[in-house]
Amino acid sequence: MATLLASGVCVLAFTFVATLSGITTNNQKSKAGQLVWAPPNVDAPIPSLAATPPCSLPDVLEHVGERAKELVDNLQSFTARETIQFEELDNFGTPDNYETARFEYAVNFDQDHGRLAVQESRAPSSKTESLSHGVTDIGIAAFAVLFHPFYQGDYDMRCEGMDARNGQPAWVVHFRQAKGKRPRTLSFHTPNAAYVAKLKGRAWISADSYEILHIDTNLMEAIPMLNLKGDAVSVDYETVEFSSRNVRLRLPRTAVTFMEYDKQRYIFQHTFTNSLVGSVRTEQVIGSPQQP
C-alpha cells in the first residue's frame, strides 16, 4: 500500500517505487512485444492546436481547480478491477519480458484542516495473479488532484490553446515545476532512500465542463543516483455518475508509465475496466462508468 499524505503545508507526494531488483519469470509471462515504447513528449508541438478562441488561464485554472475540489469533497473512495501489463526492454528497445496480472484496486481521498491525503492500494484478484518484477509504479490516482488549488502554485502554467480530445474541445495547459518551489508532487523510493523529482506536463481540460480529459507528464531532470534517465506517464480519464447525489467525476480509465534507466526500459499499462465502482461519503455504490 502507498500512503500519499499531506503534511506540513499541504505536501502531496504520489510515488513511483523503484526497488531496482532483478526481474524473474512467473506463470503470467507471455510473448514479449505486447506493448509499444512511445513515451509522450510534453514539449513537442501540437499540430492541431488552435489559438482561437483565446484562452484565459486564470478562468481555466479556477474552474479546473473547482473540479479537483469536487473530486476530493464528493468522493471518499473508488475501487476497480485493474489489469496491469508489464514489459521490460533492453536499452536498444528490444522486448525481453512481458507479464500481465489482474488486481483489485482501491483509492481513498480525504482532506482535513487544509491537508490532503490520497491512499492507494491493490491486491491480486486471485492467488495466481501476480507480477514478479521488482519495479512498481503507484500514485496514478493522485494525478487527478494535481490541479487542486493546494498545488497549482507549485507550477508555472500556461494555456497553449484549444485542441480536441476524443472529439471534445479542450484547453491545453502546460505546467512545469516552478523555480524556487520545493517539489511536492513526485518522488522515487528505493529501500534505502527517497528522491524528489521535478515534474512537467500537459493537461487536456474540457472547454465545456473543465474536467480533466487527459494528462501527460515528463521528468524535468534525470536522477543519476538511480540511473534514471526518464519517466513519462500518460493518463486517460472517463466520467463516472453518482446518480443519487447528481455528481459526475472524472476517474482514471487507462494509464501508461514509461521508465527509462541506463540499461533497461519498463512499460506499465494499467486498464481500469467497466467494473469500476465507487462510493461517496454516504457509502453509495455506483454502477459502470459512462464511456467518454
Q: What is the mean pLDDT of residues 222-238?
A: 93
Q: Are 157 and 61 in contact (CB under 8 A)?
A: yes
Q: How far is CA 254 from CA 58, 89, 102, 271, 283, in A?
A: 29, 21, 14, 5, 25
Query: Which residues pair with residue 84 across a beta bridge?
Result: 101, 270
Q: What is the mean pLDDT of residues 47-57?
A: 96
Q: Give yes or no for residue 277 having a pLDDT over 50.
A: no
Confidence of residue 246 (pLDDT cuts 50, 70, 90): low
What does the alpha-carbon distance between residue 8 and residue 144 come to, in Å, rounded to a whole number?
21
Residue 254 has what pLDDT? 93
SS3 category, 126: coil
What backbone torsions phi and psi does residue 226 show, to the nearest 5 degrees? Answer: -105, 0
Least confident of 102-116, 214-228, 259-273: 102-116
Q: Which of 76-80, 90-94, 117-121, 261-265 has the highest average model confidence (pLDDT)?
A: 261-265
Omega cis (within 30) before 53: yes
Environment class of residue 258 by beta-carbon count within 10 Å: exposed (0-12), middle (13-18) or buried (19+)? Answer: buried
- Verdict on whether the full-model pTM lies above 0.85: no
Pairing of strands 2-5, 247-261: unpaired
b/e sequence 262-277, b meaning 16+ C-beta within 10 Å? eebbbbbbbbbeeebb
Mean of pLDDT over the chain: 79
Residue 265 has what pLDDT? 93
pLDDT digits (tens, 9 = 90+) for 113-122: 666 777 778 8
Confidence of residue 282 (pLDDT cuts 50, 70, 90): very low
Q: What is the mean pLDDT of residues 235-257?
A: 80
Closest-CA residue to 215 (of 149, 144, 166): 144
Confidence of residue 224 (pLDDT cuts 50, 70, 90): very high
How many other CB atoms are found less than 10 A from the CB of residue 184?
Answer: 20
What does the alpha-carbon distance between residue 260 and residue 222 come to, in Å, rounded to a whole number?
10
Q: What is the mean pLDDT of residues 9-16?
A: 34
Confidence of residue 272 (pLDDT cuts 50, 70, 90): confident
pLDDT digits (tens, 9 = 90+) for 101-111: 888 888 877 77
Q: Are 231 and 259 in contact (CB under 8 A)?
A: yes
Q: Give yes or no for residue 24 having a pLDDT over 70.
A: no
Q: Give yes or no for residue 291 having a pLDDT over 60.
A: no
What backbone torsions phi and psi does residue 225 show, to the nearest 5 degrees? Answer: -65, -20
Q: Are 238 and 291 in contact (CB under 8 A)?
A: yes
SS3 category, 138: coil
Residue 288 has what pLDDT? 38
pLDDT digits (tens, 9 = 90+) for 186-202: 888 788 888 889 999 99
Q: What is the mean pLDDT of residues 213-240?
A: 93
Confidence of residue 134 (pLDDT cuts 50, 70, 90): low
Q: What's the CA dihedral at 133, 190, 181, 74 to 10 degrees? A: 60
C-alpha grid cell for residue 28?
A: 503470467
Residue 113 has what pLDDT? 62
Confidence of residue 31 (pLDDT cuts 50, 70, 90): low
Q: What's the CA dihedral at 205, 185, 18, 76 to 10 degrees? A: -70
Least confident of 21-30, 100-109, 131-140, 209-218: 21-30
Confidence of residue 133 (pLDDT cuts 50, 70, 90): low
What does the alpha-carbon distance between residue 150 and residue 280 come to, in Å, rounded to a whole number?
22
